[in-house]
Amino acid sequence: MISSLLLQLILNGLIVGALYGVVAMCFVLIYKSTQVVNFAQGEFLLIGAWTCWWLVTSLELPFPAAFLLTFLFMMVFGIVLQMVVLRPLIGEPVISVIMVTIGLSIFFQAVVKAIFGAWAQPFPEVFPVKSVDVFGLPVQPAYLMSLVVSVVIMVAFAWFFKYSRMGLAMRATAFDQQVAQSLGISVKGVFALAWAISAMVSALAGVVVGMVNGVSSALSFFGIKVFPAVIVGGLDSIVGAIVGGLIIGLLENLAEYADSQFLHLGNLYSVAPFYVLVIILMIKPYGLFGTKRIERV
């Protein structure tokens, strides 16, 4: 009964959804620990992907080295961005900070366009084979790599927040900054770390998407898809971000299926997530996993 097209789309949905989940996690990480709604999340993907592309094509570095350098560059980029742009805004009204991140988003898009041009550039082939077989379906190796990378990142996040000293410190800071300080945690350090991790991991996602679709400003649109994902999951829930990402990924692809097979509306792929967003928010205003604080009676 289930056509191979449908299967293919479900698999796509899971793979892309996992990536959405990863970027959504990065967004939630910044929101939770610094209370900043980062509208420039998509540009982290963009900058990361272009950096890696440039290292591979212009400097002709081997891919793993370029990947690692991109990672380091984005870590520094995240820290500097936090220190120079966002730290002075601590204590300013939420709306001002949002305007600044929207401004950053536009600024980075323009800068990247000025440097690398407006056209999509393909990544040089990294993998020796064009496609591998998964349960009889042909899958691009970059897609497989993307899934592996997503899962590894998710496990790493789970470990980090549950067991590592800095992870606990970040959670404590998210819960109550004054208490965190009373424990000897440097809140400035936590903020910088949140931006560093977020930028690094988003860039990773950017490189992976760039390898599949080519590197272009469409990557920041990938970042926009993260909003339905985080809002579905609840703005402050890491698990919610992953589930939200998977839901959005699957939904897009199922919408594509319904559209191409039955409805023939054309653009359902892009708008379906936003319909679902509205419906979920009507039923659960805190998102599926958003928390209200514990209230002991």
Name the minimum Å distance from CB 184 to other proteins.
3
Nearer to other proteins, 127 or 161 (CB): 161
Name the minimum Å distance from CB 91 to other proteins.
9
Separation CA 8–CA 194 (nearest Å):
35
Nearer to other proteins, 177 or 217 (CB): 177
Name the minimum Å distance from CB 219 to other proteins.
34
HSE (side-chain half, CA atoms, 13 Å) at 232: 27
Binding site for other proteins (CB under 8 A): 165, 168-169, 171-172, 175-179, 181-186, 291, 293-294, 296
Nearer to other proteins, 125 or 176 (CB): 176
Nearer to other proteins, 182 or 261 (CB): 182
Name the minimum Å distance from CB 292 to other proteins.
11
Name the minimum Å distance from CB 22 to other proteins.
23
Separation CA 41–CA 30 (nearest Å):
10
Nearer to other proteins, 161 or 274 (CB): 161
Tell me which residue of 230, 161, 229, 224 sits closest to 197, measured CA to CA: 161
Nearer to other proteins, 264 or 292 (CB): 292
Name the minimum Å distance from CB 120 to other proteins.
43
In this structure, which amino acid lies at residue 66?
Answer: A
Nearer to other proteins, 69 or 187 (CB): 187
Name the minimum Å distance from CB 295 to other proteins.
8
Nearer to other proteins, 154 or 172 (CB): 172
Name the minimum Å distance from CB 155 to other proteins.
19
Paired with 134 in beta bridges are 137
